[in-house]
């Protein structure tokens, strides 16, 4: 299976406010696990996926993309699998490190 690593610009282009968590209500769900299994290990940047564990599914405000946040063994680090809702396919993936994004790992 072919995978596609999205850079920060590509990933952020799929965001549109409001981002809503639709984990409990999402329909037409795509099986992301074959895709997740095919992600090259070097694109995990030292993180390890927790198989079968999704923390949130955020749908953008224009209802064009879902961000499926797959849990890793690193706190506040997720593999975001971006699902293109119109095409019913996976656009790509992006390692979302909230520690880095929001300065949560700042040392004092």
pLDDT digits (tens, 9 = 90+) for 15-61: 999 999 999 998 767 999 999 999 999 999 999 999 999 999 999 99
pLDDT of residue 106: 47
Whether 3 is covered by a domain: the verdict is: no
| Domains identified in the chain, total number | 1
Whether 1 is covered by a domain: the verdict is: no
Is the Cβ–Cβ distance between 51 and 32 less than 8 Å?
A: no
Q: Which spans in the chain are helix H?
A: 8-12, 33-38, 98-101
Q: Is the pLDDT of residue 13 over 90?
A: yes
Q: Is the pLDDT of residue 107 over 50?
A: no
Whether 108 is covered by a domain: the verdict is: no
Whether 94 is covered by a domain: the verdict is: yes
Range of the domain at 67: 8-101
Is the Cβ–Cβ distance between 89 and 83 less than 8 Å?
A: yes
C-alpha–C-alpha distance, residues 35 and 23, integer Å: 19
Q: Is the pLDDT of residue 66 over 90?
A: yes
Model pLDDT for residues 84-106, shown as the tens digit of each residue: 999 999 999 999 998 877 666 64
pLDDT of residue 24: 92
């Amino acid at each position: 299976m072919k995978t596609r690593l999205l850079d920060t610009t590509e990933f952020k282009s799929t965001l549109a406010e409001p981002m809503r968590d639709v984990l409990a209500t999402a329909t037409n769900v795509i099986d992301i696990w074959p895709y997740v299994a095919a992600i090259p290990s070097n694109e995990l940047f030292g993180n390890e996926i927790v198989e079968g564990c999704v923390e949130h599914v955020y749908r953008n405000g224009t209802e064009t993309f879902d961000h499926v946040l797959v849990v890793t063994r690193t706190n506040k680090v997720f593999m975001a699998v971006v699902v293109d809702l119109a095409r019913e396919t996976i656009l790509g993936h992006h390692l979302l490190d909230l520690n880095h994004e929001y300065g949560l790992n700042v040392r004092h």
